[in-house]
């Protein structure tokens, strides 16, 4: 009887985790980051574009997001070091973009450290998503 209860609890936990993941959308991620940024914060596509295209100068190989993601976020990119193909960043060109909070956070953390030289703030993440949702 205990094993049946344990299996039921595990299944319920898996369903909850799946439902939470299924609810991730670019809109909900942008809203969550904006809320983390503080009361009254409004994400700005223009600030997102500025961050995305700025040459941060931290790395000669990866000076800006556009080094790998291209100047046109609706086009595919290519990693400057590995040569790996990168699907378009713009949500209209890649509807799967920003539909997994954990994956989005992983890539923000990694790419911000490499390109910006630090982790991006919640506000910066909201701004970048706003830019990439706006049709970039």
111-119 average pLDDT score? 95
* Residue 76: predicted pLDDT: 96
Q: For 62-111, what is each residue's pLDDT tens digit? A: 899 999 999 999 999 999 999 999 999 999 999 999 999 999 999 999 99
Residues 6+ apart with CB under 8 A from 40: none
* Residue 59 vs residues 17, 28, 50, 64, 136: alpha-carbon distances, Å: 37, 32, 18, 9, 24
Q: How many whole angstroms separate alpha carbon 107 and alpha carbon 59?
A: 17
Mean pLDDT of the chain: 86
* Residue 81 vs residues 43, 62, 114: alpha-carbon distances, Å: 31, 8, 12
Count of Cβ atoms closer than 10 Å to residue 135 Cβ: 12
Task: Give all strands (DSSP E) within the chain, no chain letters.
Answer: 77-78, 85-86
- pLDDT score of 2 more than 80: no
* Residue 136: predicted pLDDT: 61
pTM of the prediction? 0.81
| pLDDT band (50, 70, 90) for residue 57 | confident
Q: Where are the domains of the chain?
A: 24-133
**Topology given in CATH for the domain delimited by 24-133:** Cytochrome Bc1 Complex; Chain D, domain 2 (1.10.760)
* Residue 33: predicted pLDDT: 97
* Residue 44: predicted pLDDT: 98
Q: For 26-35, what is each residue's pLDDT tens digit? A: 999 999 999 9
More reliable by pLDDT, 10 or 102: 102
């Amino acid at each position: 009887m205990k094993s049946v209860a344990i299996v039921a609890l595990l299944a319920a936990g898996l369903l909850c985790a799946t439902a939470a993941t299924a609810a991730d959308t670019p809109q909900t991620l942008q809203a969550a980051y904006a809320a983390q940024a503080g009361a009254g914060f409004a994400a700005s596509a223009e600030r997102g574009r500025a961050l995305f295209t700025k040459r941060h100068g931290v790395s000669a190989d990866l000076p800006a997001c556009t080094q790998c993601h291209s100047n046109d976020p609706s086009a595919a990119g290519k990693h400057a070091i590995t040569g790996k193909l990168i699907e378009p960043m713009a949500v209209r060109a890649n509807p799967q973009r920003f539909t997994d909070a954990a994956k989005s956070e992983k890539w923000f953390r990694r790419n911000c450290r490499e390109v910006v030289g630090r982790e991006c703030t919640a506000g910066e993440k909201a701004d970048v998503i706003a830019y990439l949702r706006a049709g970039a």
